[in-house]
Structure 1
Amino acid sequence: MTSLLSLLGRGALAGGAAGVVNGGFSWLLAEPVLDEAVRLEAAREEASGAGSAAAEVFSRSTQHAGLLVAAVLTGAAIGVLFAVVYAVLHRRDPDGAPWRRSLTLAGAGFTGVWLLPFLRYPANPPGVGDPGTIDTRVNAWLAAIGIGVIAVALAWRVHGWLAERRRSAPQRQLTVTAIMLAALAALFALPDNPDAVSAPATLVWDFRVLSAASMGLLWGGLAVGFGLLGFRAARAGAAPSRRGMERSELGPSVV
């Protein structure tokens, strides 16, 4: 049986690899949008007379390199947490159906941790947001993540409960959809973003689309990597068993 340590290593490796893909995508496509947002913010501050109030701590080139490092570390951390949840959910049989389970869990994590909160509070480029409201915005985002995670966990549990009672697929799927819609309605009961979006609409939506694609690559890469590593481990574990069965069928050797 696969150990927890093995699952944690698998999650860290898969998450780190997904972080490389995520970081590379962001560096190639999202960073130019960020550079434009930074230039616009600097021009706005200069026009308002606040341009010399704060010096840049790190250059953009340093920030670009830091992005890649942060993406790998973040991916590895998410991968470890992913492995812990996977181990808890499948503690009775951690080796069964690793590919399907990995894809399913990653889809649930992406939906609860990122997609549902994003629908309520879509990402904005740098320069959008008053520093004085950062606590309000962080608390609202954390509350959105909490609602998303609870909704996904509830949907997962209810779907399993209905499956145990042999309910039809349409009934299970419609029930899950109803739970997701209720969660989305609850999210919109949270307070609105207190800051107006002053950046050009094209820039804002380019940033949001790229953010969505970046996170999709992170979670998708984690799902594929973790699933393939689990599939490989399951095949490697099955090989000695097959060889043992073949020897037993041949009978004892004669010397």
Structure 2
Amino acid sequence: MVRTLLARGLLVGLLAGLIAGAFAFAFGEPRVDHAIALEEAAAQAEAPDPDAGTAEHSHAEAAEHSHGEDAVVGRPVQKAGLFLATGLYGLAVGGMFALVFAGLRGRVGPRSDGRLAVAAAGTAFAATILVPFVKYPANPPAVGDPDTINSRTLLYVVLILVGLAATAIAVATARRVDGGPWARWTAAAVAFLVPVVAAWWLLPTVDEVPEGFPATLLWEFRLASLGTQLVFWAAFGVLFGWASDRAERRSAAHPLVAAPS
């Protein structure tokens, strides 16, 4: 059964990754192009005057900031590679999700495989995407100091771990609370939010948006970034749930044929 779930997770993850890639291509890449154009314009504006005898230095400095056709990896190649990246991301996430799903079946959440898949996908989105995004939203090119990328990445990973730990605490709390669904859901929500809000408050704030950067562009890029993840997890949850329900119905109709693998 684990092998079947793993194959399902890999296939569905790849498909959901390509769907998310299409969303990112349509809504995210135009904002990236705009941000790169602003970065290159700022680099050229700050370059020394060529008439002052530093034309070669100015040209080299501007080239270092180029992300366009003359970059080591041109923008057309980067855009094509977007689908490769989201597809590989989908494969990795799909494999891990399938293994976790195999451990959850019959132990936590809805008894229906389809409902459990949708609930698990929504929980994964909230814990690993939404929790860190609220504190450290994505930034387009030209935003962020390259010297702080390691510290910013570490802070982001810390919040992912907090989100996962908060999810485990919420599930354990819900299972120990006596009462109806409302009591369990309320207890789970409180148990989830307490460590998450504490982490948001305790972790340092990172604000490296340069002065004068268009607020509309920043907002649209962040919405596109979050939307890409939302599309991925929604597509993955629905497709994995549909495939699980279909397999469950086939297993019920042909119990001798659907033996565990």
Q: TM-score, normalised by structure 2?
A: 0.85
Give the aligned length: 237
Contact 2:114 2:242 in 1 (8 A): yes
- Of 204, 217, 225 in structure 2, the residue corresponding to residue 191 of structure 1 is 204
> Partner of 1:179 in structure 2?
191
Contact 1:111 1:152 in 2 (8 A): no
> Partner of 2:52 in structure 1?
none
Any stretches of 5+ residues in structure 1 without a counterpart? 244-255
**CA deviation profile, 1:17-68 (whole Å, cap 9, x unmatched):** 1111100011111111111011111111111223133562111110000001
- Of 216, 226, 230 in structure 1, the residue corresponding to residue 240 of structure 2 is 226
- Of 171, 181, 192 in structure 2, the residue corresponding to residue 156 of structure 1 is 171
Letter in 2 for 1:28: A
Contact 2:23 2:228 in 1 (8 A): yes
Letter in 2 for 1:212: L
Q: TM-score, normalised by structure 1?
A: 0.87
Letter in 1 for 2:230: G
- Of 47, 63, 66 in structure 2, the residue corresponding to residue 52 of structure 1 is 63
Q: Give runs of aligned pairs for residues 126-165 of structure 1, distance below 5 A.
A: 126-162=141-177, 165=178
Query: Post-superposition shift, 1:209?
Result: 1.0
> Partner of 1:203 in structure 2?
217
> Partner of 2:55 in structure 1?
none
Query: Post-superposition shift, 1:88?
Result: 1.5
Query: Post-superposition shift, 1:214?
Result: 0.9
Query: Post-superposition shift, 1:197?
Result: 4.2
Query: How many percent identity over aligned positions?
Result: 35
Query: Post-superposition shift, 1:98?
Result: 1.1
Query: Post-superposition shift, 1:219?
Result: 0.5
Q: Give runs of aligned pairs for residues 111-122 of structure 1, distance below 5 A.
A: 111-122=126-137
> Partner of 1:33 in structure 2?
31
Query: Post-superposition shift, 1:170?
Result: 2.6
Q: Give runs of aligned pairs for residues 1-150 of structure 1, distance below 5 A.
A: 3-49=1-47, 50-53=61-64, 56-90=71-105, 96-150=111-165
Q: Give runs of aligned pairs for residues 241-252 of structure 1, distance below 5 A.
A: 241=255
| Distance of 1:168 and 1:224 partners within structure 2 | 27
Secondary structure at 2:202 match in 1: coil
| Distance of 1:86 and 1:161 partners within structure 2 | 21
| Distance of 2:209 and 2:247 partners within structure 1 | 51
Any stretches of 5+ residues in structure 2 without a counterpart? 48-60
Letter in 2 for 1:239: A
1:53 to 1:17, Cα distance in 2 relative to 1, 3 A: closer
Superposed CA RMSD: 2.0
The reply to whether residue 238 of structure 1 matches residue 252 of structure 2 is: yes
| Distance of 1:22 and 1:53 partners within structure 2 | 30
Query: Post-superposition shift, 1:235?
Result: 1.4
1:98 to 1:197, Cα distance in 2 relative to 1, 3 A: farther
Contact 2:169 2:192 in 1 (8 A): no
| Distance of 1:197 and 1:89 partners within structure 2 | 45
